[in-house]
Amino acid sequence: MDLLHLTAAELGRKIKNREVSVAEAVKAVLAQAKEMEPEINSYVTLDEAGALMQAESVQKRIDSEELTGPLAGVPAAVKDNMCIEGQLTTCSSKILSNFRPTFTAEAVKNLQKAGAVIVGKTNMDEFAMGSTTETSYYGPTKNPHNLMHVPGGSSGGSCAAVAAQECWYALGSDTGGSIRQPSSFCGVVGLKPTYGTVSRYGLIAYGSSLDQIGPVAKDVTDCAAILEAIASHDEKDSTSVQRKDYDFTSALVCDVKGMKIGIPRDYMREGLDPEVADAIWKAAGVLKEQGAVIEEFDLSLVKYAIPAYYVIASAEASSNLERFDGVKYGYRTADYEGLHNMYKKTRSEGFGAEVKRRIMLGSFVLSSGYYDAYYLKALRTKALIKQAFDRAFESYDLILGPAAPTTAPELGKSLQDPLKMYLGDIYTISVNLAGLPGMSVPIGKDRKGLPVGMQLIGNSFQEKMLIRAAYTYECATGKQYEVPADIHPKSGREA
Ligand code: GLN
């Protein structure tokens, strides 16, 4: 039986019905990963022995009917910035290249409670800073749809692993688009929840006021099921929210009749690749045919989002990354003279260029002479961006637009001009600044065969609205996930 082409929910059903054992599923995905990894490099760590051991214990819990949920026994991957007790957790940085945490992130624990088998930790931009997965200490991840292109970032490893069938689903994290943009580049579904929905306990912080963990999956059904499993109120995270609704799968309904969807005019103007724009208009047309009301409107202030984001995210990063000093954990330089020299050499050798750039920018905007001019101004801008969204959601149920201005760029191109790379975050970062939920759904391919995604943005706590619209799009157009052409011949693997 070809297991790899199944979605997580389909595989979960087969495991539940005893058509497939958990060990069979794990072996199939490990074999696929071993074949794909030399080319794609989705994983920092592939935990073969651990996955087989988990398979055994999860199978027992399924057999005793302790585990009955849709994800029980389904192999998954976790971005390498989420702690798992005893397992290497590197953030794709040299400075954490030997770090084995003594505890497990709450979101991962929730997955384990749902019966997930974690097969490995996925590659990412160092400390989640980047848009291409090229800043990883472990080398870049390649886009499974075209190995000459990046998978996006920073959750590029998670998205490439799902696209290349090296796991059935994955967790990513999104500070300024890091789930939605790589999902769009890799042709998979990714969701960034409302801030506070998924616990950040055990997620190594980048920009704490912006970071959220979320699912990456082959389709909307899986995405809803994963979110349902990982979302929880957690007292260990002071920003965790107690929500009224955690039943995200109840929104898997094919119906958008009367739903009001706004398309920001400023999202569809210059700077947007015409092929991406066409795909977005077509997708909007599909939702309109299904009964949604589509209108264009002005979402002002978008142009201030990039400077505000890079000031706030870098400020928080410079503070969060102070803890990596060679004393408490992680890498320490080999030779040094005295404590200060040890700090300096450890951090100089342990961090890569992009991370150093952010630490310097962050320290600068927080320094006493510039705090008001930059940091405070950015916080005020953030408040105005939230107000602009609040106004938009008085008229619309959802906002629709692109997830990124282009499809996946070629490897090696983006880092040549970091400022230009930052501009690529234009459609995603304001969603984090406002704490809103956003989702990327595959809607087609460009002429080169690279996937295009649309972004749906909801008001706070309106994930179900996103899921309903995305599911309706999927019902109307058929499943969007496609096995990348490059790996097609190998996709018929037997369990
Ligand atoms: N590209 C953005 C950055 O570099 C977003 C990254 C993220 O969401 N983690 O900060």
pLDDT tens-digit map of 175-190: 999 999 999 999 999 9
Mean pLDDT across the chain, nearest whole number?
96
Q: What is the pLDDT of residue 494?
A: 41
CA dist., res. 328 & res. 324, Å (int): 7
- Spacing, Cα 210 to ligand 1 middle (Å): 10
Q: What is the pLDDT of residue 486?
A: 65
Tell me if residue 348 is catalytic.
no
| Of 359, 274, 266, the residue nearest 313 (C-alpha) | 359
Does 104 contact ligand 1 (Cβ within 6 A)? no
pLDDT tens-digit map of 239-273: 999 999 999 999 999 999 999 999 999 999 888 99
pLDDT tens-digit map of 96-116: 999 999 999 999 999 999 999
Cα 147 from chain centroid (whole Å): 20
Which domains, from first to last, does the chain contain?
3-299+387-477 (3.90.1300.10)
pLDDT tens-digit map of 54-69: 999 999 999 999 999 9
Q: What is the pLDDT of residue 110?
A: 98
Q: What is the pLDDT of residue 232?
A: 98
Contact 301, 384 (CB under 8 A): yes
- Pocket probe mutation, ligand 1, options 126, 127, 131, 155, max atoms within 8 Å of Cβ: 131
Cβ neighbors of 99 (< 8 A, separation 6 or more) are 88, 89, 90, 329, 330
Does 129 contact ligand 1 (Cβ within 6 A)? yes
Atom of ligand 1 nearest to the CA of 128: 9
pLDDT tens-digit map of 182-239: 999 999 999 999 999 999 999 999 999 999 999 999 999 999 999 999 999 999 999 9
CA–CA–CA angle 486, 30, 445 (5° rounding): 30
Atom of ligand 1 nearest to the CA of 421: 1
Mean pLDDT of 136-156: 98
Strand partners, 401: 455
Checking if the pLDDT of 487 tops 80, the result is no
Checking if the pLDDT of 302 tops 70, the result is yes
pLDDT tens-digit map of 370-419: 999 999 999 999 999 999 999 999 999 999 999 999 999 999 999 888 88
Cβ neighbors of 343 (< 8 A, separation 6 or more) are 325, 326
Q: Which residue CA neighbors atom 10 of ligand 1 most closely? A: 129
| Of 181, 189, 161, 169, the residue nearest 39 (C-alpha) | 161
List of long-range contacts for 270-275, beta carbons under 8 Å, 24+ apart: 271/405, 271/423, 271/426, 272/402, 272/405, 273/405, 273/406, 273/407, 273/446, 275/407, 275/446, 275/447, 275/452
- Spacing, Cα 339 to ligand 1 middle (Å): 32
Tell me if residue 154 is catalytic.
yes
Checking if the pLDDT of 36 tops 50, the result is yes
pLDDT tens-digit map of 285-298: 999 999 999 999 99
CA dist., res. 472 & res. 474, Å (int): 5
Checking if the pLDDT of 92 tops 80, the result is yes
Contact 171, 201 (CB under 8 A): no
List of long-range contacts for 416-423, beta carbons under 8 Å, 24+ apart: 418/354, 418/357, 421/130, 421/131, 421/132, 422/306, 422/310, 423/271, 423/306
